[in-house]
Chains A and B, each alone.
Chain A
Amino acid sequence: MSKINKRIIEEKAFKIVMHTVCAAVVLIFLIMLATIVIKGLPGLNLKMLTHQPLRGSYAEGGGGILNAILGSVYLALGATFLAGLIGIPVALFINVYLKKNSRFATLIRFSFDVLWGIPSIVYGAFGFIIMIFFHMRSSLLAGIITIAFLELPIMTRAADSILKMVPLELKEISLSLGATRFETAFRIIFKQAFPGILTAILIGLGRGIGDAAAVMFTAGYTDSLPTSLFRPVATLPLAIFYQLGTPFPEVQQRGYTSALVLMLVILFISIFSRILTKRFQQNVLR
């Protein structure tokens, strides 16, 4: 009898531990949100969002973070566009042109999985080498290219897993009606999986906009607004990092507010992409 009791008690104990761990995870997440909101909110006002930092008066901390907001938007949109231009066709290629379980498809998936695991700082270093090779200086363009490399595996993997769920019959029906594989891929499969592909693109965008290590070398940093592809730009993650590193409370406040803005943008992207995924799952033909 006591043996059985012990077994049941062990199970109960572990159940309690598991509940505690899950509660702790949710709690940590909420504490994180609360911390950033509490610290960032006092500095959040229209001036902060619509002005660049006042030049020459770093210690006084006047002005806002428009330079970083605009820089991040340009950089992330450019990189996402570039990565999507390469990644989405490759994902379609694997799923429409290649046979299921073909060696080449496995090889491509393998490369993307390996690329996915490479730390962003290494992409930054690689981007830096390319820059030196072409005698470029740190600029918006170099940042876009580097972040595109970073986003490419994330986006392609996500798009691939969505396209895998599109039923094979759809492809077969389209081909048997006389459509070419190109038409099947871009008119039929792409349309069917569109919300899912948009999710993949948004996941890439979210990662791209939040990354700091890769843009440090390549995009540089500046207090002025982005004007050209060939000049350095500020980005929100680096704005947070540099401004928190200063000893001036007013400048640090700008950093906290930047953190709040960045977090809201990323949460918005994540939640929006979750909604799209749900919609995709409803649309899938079964």
Chain B
Amino acid sequence: MLTKRTIKDILAKHAMFFLACAVSLLVIFIFGGLFFKSSTILKNKPLAELLFSVDWHPSRGNFGFAPFIMGTIWVTVVAIFLAVPASLLTAIFLAEYAHKKIRGVIKPVLDLLAGISPVIFGVFGILVIVPFVGNGLKPFCEKFLGFIPFFRSDNFTGYSVLSAGIVLAIMIFPTMAQVAEEVVNSVPQETRESSLALGATKWETIKYVVVKKAGAGIIAAIILGLSRAFGETIAVLMVVGNVIKVPHSLFDAAYTLPALIANNYGEMMSIPLYDSALLLAALILLAVTVFFNIGAWFILLRIEKSYV
């Protein structure tokens, strides 16, 4: 009994099945494409040299990614260090304490903040964060904490690891806070009630019971923020200073992997192996972020299953 309607149904089913399969395979296509293109340089240079050498002179055929990898790690760690406490406190506050009216203000602000373009964050960074770091924080820290090499730098400007970290922290904050809030919300009410009934204060209940229960999910939220920070391009590029050197201080300028790709795509076709090297940088970014995201996904899936 194949009427026109059932034929339509079957055709649509196959078309959508095909689309779904194609999309599921997209990650593999991206991996394959980048791997194929970067295999040229992988064949020519040992991987250890690429990853650990600090010598970056494409015109002389030296491709050491270490300054960029270290720059990316520095910036990401600073951002995470700043954003994690703030976003966790916000998430706990929204889920446990906040009055409905306050939630009604904070949650839309988080949504709007999450939607704002990275370039706008970059402009904000140049106009506000960089001067703040360069004229305010840097002289202050050098005066009082200058004996620690971590706070000392011969960089004159505010374009630095710290500026990029602050801008990134603001960027990843909404994502982390939103995911963490959902996780905290998903802790069953009875758990809280039994703790409160035993005489714990609300804060103790949160500290010892809720956060413990939500621990894995909070880690997932942090991982998601981490991978966001790791791959962010334009906003970081605009404030990090773009100096090819392994940074040693919060106030040193640095250069990140995404910034390397974005800044050099124009000239990459004119120097041998250069394009392959830049696409290898993209491959490294892809591998790291996909790894993080898969980790976070499995953690969140387990939580979803355990509470449904």
Asked if B126 contacts A94 (CB within 8 A), the reply is no
Given A7-B201, A22-B102, A210-B116, CB of A90 within 8 Å of CB of B286: no
Closest to A112 in B: B23
List residues of chain B with CB within 8 A of the CB of A244: 123, 126, 238
Asked if B231 contacts A25 (CB within 8 A), the reply is no
Interface-located stretch among B43-51, B149-157, B183-191, B292-300: B292-300
Q: Which A residues, 1 to 52, have Cβ-Cβ distances below 8 Å to chain B? A: 7-8, 10-11, 14-15, 17-19, 21-22, 24-26, 28-29, 31-32, 35-36, 39
List residues of chain A with CB within 8 A of the CB of B86: 21, 24-25
Given A7-B201, A14-B203, CB of A26 within 8 Å of CB of B89: no
Docked Cα-Cα span, A156 to B20, in Å, equals 11
Asked if A36 contacts B34 (CB within 8 A), the reply is no
Main secondary structure of the interface of B (DSSP, over half): helix
Q: What does the 1/0 interface line of A98-117 toward B look like (CB < 8 Å)?
A: 00000010011011111111
**Is B250's CB within 8 Å of the partner chain A?**
no
List residues of chain B with CB within 8 A of the CB of A32: 116, 120-121, 124, 128
Asked if A180 contacts B8 (CB within 8 A), the reply is yes
Given A212-B119, A259-B119, CB of A270 within 8 Å of CB of B292: no
Closest chain-A Cβ to B145's Cβ sits at a distance in Å of 23
Asked if B118 contacts A210 (CB within 8 A), the reply is yes
Interface residues of B (CB under 8 A from A): 5-6, 8-9, 12-13, 15-17, 19-20, 23-27, 29-30, 33-34, 36-37, 86, 89-90, 92-93, 97-98, 102, 105-106, 108-113, 115-124, 126-128, 170, 173, 201-204, 224, 227-228, 230-234, 238, 258, 261-262, 265, 278-279, 282, 285-286, 289-290, 292-294, 296-297
A-B contact pairs, 7 of them (CB 8 A): A116-B293, A118-B30, A119-B285, A119-B286, A124-B261, A182-B13, A269-B115
Extra A-B contacts (15), CB below 8 Å, given A14-B89, A22-B93, A213-B258:
A24-B86, A25-B90, A25-B113, A25-B173, A93-B20, A97-B13, A110-B297, A119-B232, A122-B30, A126-B34, A129-B37, A180-B6, A181-B13, A210-B116, A270-B115
